[in-house]
Amino acid sequence: MIVTEADLRDQLRRPTAGARVTVPAGARLSPSATDFVKQWGLVVSHDGAVTATSGPSSPAPRERDWDTASTFPVHLAGEVPKCVSCGSPVEHKADALTQLNAAHYALKTHPRIRLRGQVDSLHAQVLLIQRLARQHDEPDLAQDLGTIAAYCRELTSAEYNERPVADLHLRDWDAERIHQATHDPRGVLGVEHLTIDQDAPELQHWLNLARADSRQIEITALEAFPSPHHPYGASICHAFNRLSSTFYFLQLRLFASERA
């Protein structure tokens, strides 16, 4: 059973730091519910067994709890949200404003909002490639693309909730092994570095496009979080660096399977 943020909010008229919420024994929290618990430092009771969180000041990256079905990623919290530019409460949101985080609005030209929009486009692209992989009878590739789609949602959740992002894993491949495979494809996968042309299969072109787009998004992330010491932005920038490598890894592995 998956407990969502909406389920937790139903138990609380108004979130307060350290409040107690109850979930059924054995239930798992969705990514947004996990963020909600950490944001408010909630105490989670699993039908009597209590788990105290570390509180809102010390969020940490998750492992694989982000690899779940899609849920709506952003919510308002607290009193009337404020404008991030002037600090005034926003009673009526103008068209040019959107949520920056749970308590603030920002102009849609804000660097983080631009980044968020590009991640949204990449997420849509990954879902399309996943569908094409299924149509081309590539179930393993489709499964990995589903994981990457979930990771796009994890990236949005981390940016919105202002916390470090979790590491990306594909089934038996962790981020370090993927990175190694893209630098030594012959040693790891038994194929040379890959370049494609007009004769390459359709899926190779789509994966190559996603790889190129993720490299551009990394630049946008670096513009939004320029400091390598940013408490959570640095991990997001690094994640996009590794995400582009992950798409190249999928290209290499698809090429290797075609040659087998």
The CA dihedral of 217, 223, 227, 230, to the nearest 10 degrees, is: -60
Kindly report the number of other CB atoms within 10 A of residue 260's CB atom. 7
DSSP structural state of residue 73? -
The tokens for 76 are 């308002």
Q: What are the tens digits of pLDDT across the range 183-236?
A: 999 999 999 999 999 999 999 999 999 999 999 999 999 999 999 999 999 999
Q: Which residues pair with 99 in a beta bridge?
A: 105
Q: What are the tens digits of pLDDT across the range 31-53?
A: 777 877 876 678 888 765 555 44
Parallel, antiparallel or unpaired: strands 82-83 and 49-52: unpaired
**pLDDT value at 93 more than 80:** no
Q: What is the pLDDT of residue 205?
A: 98
Q: What is the pLDDT of residue 26?
A: 78
The tokens for 28 are 């798992």
**pLDDT value at 109 more than 90:** yes
Q: Which of 6-10, 86-90, 150-154, 197-201 has the lowest mean pLDDT?
A: 86-90
| Across 112-134, average pLDDT | 97
Q: What is the pLDDT of residue 45?
A: 82
**pLDDT value at 121 more than 90:** yes
| Across 120-147, average pLDDT | 97
**pLDDT value at 134 more than 50:** yes
Which phi and psi angles does 132 have, rounded to 5°? -65, -35
Local structure of 162: helix, strand or coil: coil
Local structure of 82: helix, strand or coil: strand
Structural contact between residues 253 and 246, judged by C-beta atoms closer than 8 angstroms: no
Q: What is the pLDDT of residue 54?
A: 41
Percent of all residues in the chain with a pLDDT value above 70, rounded to a whole number: 81
CA dist 60 and 17 (Å) reads 18
Q: What are the tens digits of pLDDT across the range 16-35?
A: 666 788 888 878 888 777 87
Percent of all residues in the chain with a pLDDT value above 90, rounded to a whole number: 55
The tokens for 110 are 């804000």
CA dist 243 and 195 (Å) reads 18
- How would residue 95 be classed by pLDDT, with cut points 50, 70 and 90? confident
Q: What is the pLDDT of residue 61?
A: 46
DSSP structural state of residue 187? H
- How would residue 59 be classed by pLDDT, with cut points 50, 70 and 90? very low
Q: Which of 112-116, 170-174, 218-222 has the lowest mean pLDDT?
A: 170-174
Answer with the residue of higher pLDDT: 194 or 74: 194
- Position 38, amino acid: K
Ramachandran quadrant class, 158 (left: phi over 0; alpha: psi -120 to 50; beta: rest): alpha
Of 163, 139, 145, give the one whose Cα is nearest residue 67: 145
C-alpha dist (Å) from residue 212 to 122, 165, 219, 259 = 11, 21, 11, 24
| Across 75-102, average pLDDT | 70
Q: Which residues pair with 17 in a beta bridge?
A: none
Q: Which residues pair with 89 in a beta bridge?
A: 82
Q: What is the pLDDT of residue 37?
A: 80
Mean of pLDDT over the chain: 85
